Structure 1
Amino acid sequence: MKQQAHAEDPPKDYEDLIRLIHERHDQMSKTYQRISVYLTQNPNDVAVQSVNTIAEHCGIHASSFVRFAQALGYKGFKELQALFQKRLATAAPGFEARVRALGNELQNREDRSEYGFLHDLVVRDIASLQDMLERIGAEDLSTATDLIEAADTVYLIGQLRSAPVVDLLRYILTMLGKRCVLLDPGGGLATHMARTMRPGDVLIAVSFRFYATEVVNIVEEAEKTGVPIVAISDSTLSPLAKSARVLFAVPEHDYTFSRSLAAPMCLAQALTVAVAARVQQNMTAPRIPTVTGA
C-alpha cells in the first residue's frame, strides 16, 4: 500500500477495518506500518484523542494519518476514527469510564517522588491487565492449553526483555512434570537446538518490539516443519502472528523507559495454571508445585 489508490468501499465497522489493515500490512510503507501498529494496539486512545495528539505520540506528522485513512477509502481521518469511537461506545459496561478515570488520575498527579513513580506504574498495570482480560479469548486459552498438555516437549524462546516470561514458564512447567527445553541464545546454539523440534512438540515464543531476529527466524522455521506455535507478542501485526497456531496479542503502552511485563507474566501464569488443572485433574484449585528445602 505504498500510496495506492483509494479503496472503493471502505470498511463500515471496526472489525472489518482491522481485517483490511492486516491484509495490506506487508505491502504498506514503513510509515503506514507504524500507523497500523499504533491503531491496532491503542484503539481506545485512537477513539478519544485528536489526530494531532496521536501523531505527536507516534512521532509521525498528522497529515500521514489523513493520507493513511484516505488510502483505505475514507474521506479523512475523522471518518476512520468514528469506527474506533463506535467500538468504544459499545465496549463492556464501565470500560470507557475506567479509561477516562485512568487518564485523569495520571494527568492530575503532581507527586514526582519515588513513591509517585510506583503509584503511576501500578495504576497503569491495572489498566493493562483489565485491557488484556477483555482482549484474550477463552477459545485461544483452551487451544493453547491443549497444545501444551499434549506436547512431548515444550520448547521455549524469548530473548532480551521477553526472557523473564519464558524463564517463568520453564520453571512452572518443569515443576508440573512437563519436559521443557529453553532455546537459550548463549553459545549461539538456539537455532540449532530448535531444529530438534518435531510436530509432536510445541514451541512457545515470546517477543515484543523490536522483535529479536533469531526468535522470528526460529518461529518461521518451526512453522515450516509442522511444529505448533503458541506466541505471546504485542500486536496482531507482530511478525510472529502469521506463523502462530495461537497468538496472544498483549498490547504494550509506551509510557516509561522500561515497558511493564505485568500483563504477559500474568498471561504466562494463567496458561500454566490451566495446564496444572489438566495434569492434576483438579479444575477447582490446581496448585503449582514449588521448590522446598534448604
Structure 2
Amino acid sequence: MTQGGQPKDYEELIRVIHERYDSMSKTYRAIAEYLTQNPNDVAVMSVNSIAEHCGIHASSFVRFAQSLGYSGFKTLQTVFQRRLSTAAPGFEARIEALENELVAGDLDGDGHFLRDLVVRDITALRSLLSEVSQVDMDRAVDLLEDAETIYLIGQLRSAPIVSLLRYVLTMLRKRTVLLDESGGLATHHAKLASKKDLVFAVSFRFYAQEVVNIVEEAGQRGVPILAISDSTLSPLAKNADVLFAVPEREYTFSRSLAAPMCLVQSLTTALAARQQKKDKPRIPTVTSPQGTSL
C-alpha cells in the first residue's frame, strides 16, 4: 500500500478488492465485479461510459475508489492504465479486429447469428489461452489424478459441461459421481465426499444456489475443490483449491460454452497423457470390436 493507503499496483488492488468483497454493499460488489472482469475497458473508458454500461450512477464509482484510498476514480483508473501498457488487447478490441478480418460485408438473413457467435467464440478462446496459467493447469490435473472419486456438480447452463466431464473421466476409468439435482439428493450425495476425493464444480452468473452450498460445505470439511466460474469474485472462489475464471462479458441469451468446454477437454486430455506415460490402458472406443483399444 502507498502512504495514502491506496493499493499501489493492479495486483495489490485486486487483492484488496477480494479481501473486502464479502463486506461490500450490493452496488459496490457490482462495481468490483466489473472492474475485475474488464480491466482493459476500465483503463480506456470514461467513468460515465462505464457507469452507463453497468446501470450504476457515476458517483458510486467515485465513492468506490475513495473507499479504497484513492482521491477519485481517475486515480484508481491510472492503475488499470499502467497494467494495460503491458497487457494483451481487451475482449471488445479483439472482437472488433476479428470482425474486420473475417467479414467483408453484411450477411443477409439469419446467417449473421452464426457469424456473430463464431467471432465471439474465437475471441473467448484466444482470451482463455492468454489468461489460464500453466501453474493452475498443472495443479488442476494433479487434483484430478490424485482423487479417489470425483464428484461433479453443475446445474442450469453448466450442466452440459459436467456431463462431458463425466463421460470423458469415465472413459479414463476415474470413479465419478454426478451430483444430479433430480430427486433432491445432490446435497446428500456430496456429503459422502472425503479429503481423498475431489469436488469439481461449474457455475456461472447467476450462480445455482445448490452448487454454491455444496462447494461451501465440502470446502469446510477439507474436501479439495476444483472450480470453473466467470470471476475470481464468484461465490465458488473462496473454497476453491484451483479456480479457473472464464469471464463472460455479456449476460445474453446467446452466451456460448465454447471456452469452458475447451478448458475441461484440455484438462482431461492432460490427465489422459499422464496415464499413458504410466502405461495405464488406453481409452477403448465405443465401436471397436471386443473392446479393442485405440
**Residue 89 (structure 2) pairs with residue 96 (structure 1):** yes
Aligned mate of 1:166, from 159, 162, 167 = 162
User: Which residue of structure 2 lines up, in the alignment, with residue 42 of structure 1?
Assistant: 38
Q: Which amino acid in structure 1 is aligned with residue 114 of structure 2? A: L
Alpha-carbon distance between aligned partners in 2 of 1:81 and 1:111, rounded to the nearest angstrom: 38
- Shift, 1:19, TM fit: 0.6
User: Which residue of structure 2 lines up, in the alignment, with residue 154 of structure 1?
Assistant: 150
Aligned mate of 2:230, from 230, 234, 239 = 234
RMSD: 2.4
**Contact 2:165–2:264 (CA under 8 A) maintained in structure 1:** yes
Q: Which amino acid in structure 1 is aligned with residue 287 of structure 2? A: T
Aligned mate of 1:20, from 16, 37, 42 = 16
**1:144–1:98 distance in 2 versus 1, CA, 3 Å:** closer
Percent identity of the aligned residues? 65
User: Which residue of structure 2 lines up, in the alignment, with residue 129 of structure 1?
Assistant: 125
User: Which residue of structure 2 lines up, in the alignment, with residue 68 of structure 1?
Assistant: 64
**Contact 1:273–1:287 (CA under 8 A) maintained in structure 2:** no
Alpha-carbon distance between aligned partners in 1 of 2:78 and 2:199, rounded to the nearest angstrom: 39
User: Which residue of structure 2 lines up, in the alignment, with residue 224 of structure 1?
Assistant: 220
Aligned mate of 2:82, from 80, 86, 89 = 86
- Shift, 1:75, TM fit: 1.8
**Residue 179 (structure 2) pairs with residue 186 (structure 1):** no
**Contact 1:229–1:246 (CA under 8 A) maintained in structure 2:** yes
- Shift, 1:258, TM fit: 2.9
User: Which residue of structure 2 lines up, in the alignment, with residue 211 of structure 1?
Assistant: 207
Alpha-carbon distance between aligned partners in 2 of 1:121 and 1:154, rounded to the nearest angstrom: 32
Q: Which amino acid in structure 1 is aligned with residue 117 of structure 2? A: L
**Residue 293 (structure 2) pairs with residue 291 (structure 1):** no
**Residue 261 (structure 2) pairs with residue 265 (structure 1):** yes
TM-score of the superposition, structure 2-length normalised?
0.89
TM-score of the superposition, structure 1-length normalised?
0.89
- Shift, 1:256, TM fit: 3.2
Give 3-state SS (helix, strand or coil) of 1:181's partner: strand
**Residue 134 (structure 2) pairs with residue 141 (structure 1):** no
**1:30–1:112 distance in 2 versus 1, CA, 3 Å:** farther
Q: Which amino acid in structure 2 is aligned with residue 64 of structure 1? A: S
- Shift, 1:282, TM fit: 7.8
Give 3-state SS (helix, strand or coil) of 2:89's partner: helix
Q: Which amino acid in structure 1 is aligned with residue 286 of structure 2? A: V
Alpha-carbon distance between aligned partners in 1 of 2:90 and 2:27, rounded to the nearest angstrom: 32
Q: Which piece of structure 1 moves more, 179-188 or 105-114?
A: 105-114
Q: Point out where structure 2 has 5 or more consecutive residues left out of the alignment.
A: 290-294
Give 3-state SS (helix, strand or coil) of 2:244's partner: strand
**Contact 2:168–2:268 (CA under 8 A) maintained in structure 1:** yes
Q: C-alpha deviations, 1:99-129, integer Å up to 9, x for none? A: 5352366599754732212111111111111
Aligned length: 283
Aligned mate of 2:196, from 200, 203, 209 = 200
**Contact 2:70–2:76 (CA under 8 A) maintained in structure 1:** yes
**Residue 107 (structure 2) pairs with residue 114 (structure 1):** no
**Contact 2:225–2:242 (CA under 8 A) maintained in structure 1:** yes
**1:130–1:27 distance in 2 versus 1, CA, 3 Å:** same
Runs of 4+ in 1 over 4 A off after TM superposition: 104-112, 286-290
Alpha-carbon distance between aligned partners in 1 of 2:108 and 2:64, rounded to the nearest angstrom: 38
Give 3-state SS (helix, strand or coil) of 2:199's partner: strand
**1:61–1:113 distance in 2 versus 1, CA, 3 Å:** farther
